[in-house]
Amino acid sequence: MEKQGKSGHLVLVMVPFQGHITPMLQLATTLHSKGFSITIVHPELNSPNPSQHPEFTFVSIPDKLTKSQLSDKDAAGLMQSLNKNCKAPLQRCLEKILHSQGHIAAIIYDTLMFCAQAIADDLRLPAMTLRTSSATTLLLYYVFPELDERDFISKIESPGLQALQLQHFRALLSQNPTEAMVEFRATFMKAVMSSSAIIVNSVYFLEQEAISKVKKLFPAPIFTIGPLHKLAPTICSSLLTEDYKCISWLNKQAPESVIYVSFGSMASIDKQELTEAAWGLANSERPFLWVVRPGMVHGSEWIELFPNGFQESVGQRACIVPWTPQREVLAHAAVVDLEPLWLEFNRGEYL
């Protein structure tokens, strides 16, 4: 275990998915540069490579997640299982750190690893939570039980989220609010409401209205410290091999002409959803870069379930790759700078 830094020892608790690993490592790098010593506790799944971050101490805890859970569409159920499976090992881990070092200045946990809050309370340690996405998503959790359309929209609507988008999202939630979703939302909210502070990977001037609403609804102080990739731009933590041929393709496209589509590192779709997305992109008549992750489509290894005639119809207008260097793609001049597009596939896994 590394020596305690001059500013104290922080324990960061990570969620094992791409969009959560990278911001947490970026936050750790930023805090380490301010003099804190850092221990990162992480589930066994998608463990980070300690050799890439020798300045941190990494501790792995068992998560006991099965292949069927990881491939299931029930993201809320997956998060519940992750927290239930990790709670006891995480408590033992923190107790061991306390015993060996005598002090933990604070615990910072990903909002989706909410079991850490109850453990911190039990150990009488201050705990802050990191929201790796926008402040607006916290409002979605807050109003989730409120399915009256007018109230739902009025509590969230902001310049970044217009009423039409929220109408679609509300309809999506109300169609199938599973027991796992309701339980997940309740435990998530209980933890965030109990935290000592909320850290958001965002910029205040981009989300002023949403942040003002969060401050009124959540008792903990909120700190916007993003974008984290600007504070620690050298972090490399991709779980999949980045295909750089897409950058050469982008270099040949006109400025702000390319639609970039990615379902992330976790979501999965079926053949019908793949077909709908494929023809939607084809009919856009715009060049597009589409990330189709291996195994993302149920029943296929990669793109063998594309509809007949799709690839021929799009030709060189499309670049389809297993994974991209996302930071470089999003910063590329050829990629269209649009407000967030909501890809809605009749399930509520976007919370």
Virtual CA dihedral for 19, 20, 25, 30, nearest 10 degrees? 90
Length of the chain: 351
Residue 20 known to be catalytic: yes
- Tokens matching residue 154: 């009025």
As a whole number of angstroms, the distance between CA 67 and CA 268 comes to 13
Q: Determine whether 100 is exposed, middle or buried from the number of CB atoms within 10 Å of its CB (0-12, 13-18, 19+).
A: exposed
- Strand-pair partners of 128: 108, 197
Selected catalytic residue, list 9, 42, 63, 110: 110
Look at residues 215, 193, 188, 211 and name the one whose alpha carbon lies nearest to residue 201: 211
Prior bond of 227 cis (ω within 30°): yes
Residues 169-198, buried b or exposed e (16+ Cβ, 10 A)? bbebbeeebeebbeebbebbbebbebbbeb
Residue 168 known to be catalytic: no
Q: Determine whether 30 is exposed, middle or buried from the number of CB atoms within 10 Å of its CB (0-12, 13-18, 19+).
A: middle
Virtual CA dihedral for 264, 269, 272, 275, nearest 10 degrees? 20
Terminus-to-terminus CA distance in the chain, angstroms? 36
Active site residues: 20, 110
